[in-house]
Amino acid sequence: MTPSLLYAFAGVALCGIGLFGFLRLQHLLRKLMAFNLIGSGVFLVMVGLAQRNGQPDPVPQALVLTGIVVAIAATALAVVLIRRYYHLSGQTTLAEPAAKSARPKARSVNREGAPE
């Protein structure tokens, strides 16, 4: 049981907690936080598990840097979408609105009809 293996196990635990939150939480921002938690867990597993004769392996560290960039991009996109969605619908969850508001019928030629 080396310290780095401990990191890997911590990563697995983080993944588990994150996955639980991701599936159970309804609020979109919380879901997003849970996604980031899973991501951190995966990165820990990646760095902790890869060992070369007791020495840390530099390659996964380079990969994790790329992974962090990707995760930031995804988080930024999700935050923008969630914010816009909240402005338009006033909702913070993905639940369908119970009563559909009557939509104005007029539509330009290019609009493909609202979903109902």
Partner 1 sequence: MTLWLMAGLLFTPLAWAVLTLMVDFRKGRLVTWLGMAVQVLVSLGLWAAVASDGGFLYLLGGWQAPLGIELRVDGLAVTFVLLTALVAAACGWHASIYLDPGKPWHRYFWPLFWFLWAGLNAVWLGGDLFNLYVGLELISLAAVGLVALGGQADALRAAIRYLMAALLGSLAYLLGVALIYGQFGTLSLAGVTELMNSGDAQSGQTFPLVLMLLGLALKTALFPMHGWLPPAHGIAKSPVSALLSALVVKASFYIAARLWLDLGGELGGFALAQLIGVLGSLAIIWGSWLAFRQTKLKQVVAYSSVAQIGYLFLLFPLTWGVTEAISLQAQQGITLQVISHALAKAAMFLAAGNLIMSVGSNRVDALAGVSRFLPFSLFSFGLAGVSLMGLPPTGGFAAKWLLLQASLASGQWWWLAVLLAGGLLSAAYVFRVYRASFIESTDTDQFYHPSRSLEVIPMILALMSLGLGLVAEPVLSVMSLPFEGGGQ
Q: What is the DSSP letter of 105?
A: -
Task: Choose among 65, 73, 9: nearest CA to 35.
Answer: 73
Contact letters for partner 1, residues 80-109 (x by CB under 8 A): -xx-xx--xx-x--x-x----------xxx
Least gap, CB of 39 to partner 1 (angstroms): 6
Instruction: Scan residues 33-72 and list those touching partner 1 (CB under 8 A).
Output: 35, 38-39, 42, 45-46, 49-50, 52, 57, 59-60, 62-63, 66-67, 70
**Crossing angle for the helix pair 28-49 and 58-89, nearest 10 degrees?**
180
Task: Choose among 78, 101, 79: nearest CA to 89.
Answer: 101
Least gap, CB of 12 to partner 1 (angstroms): 9
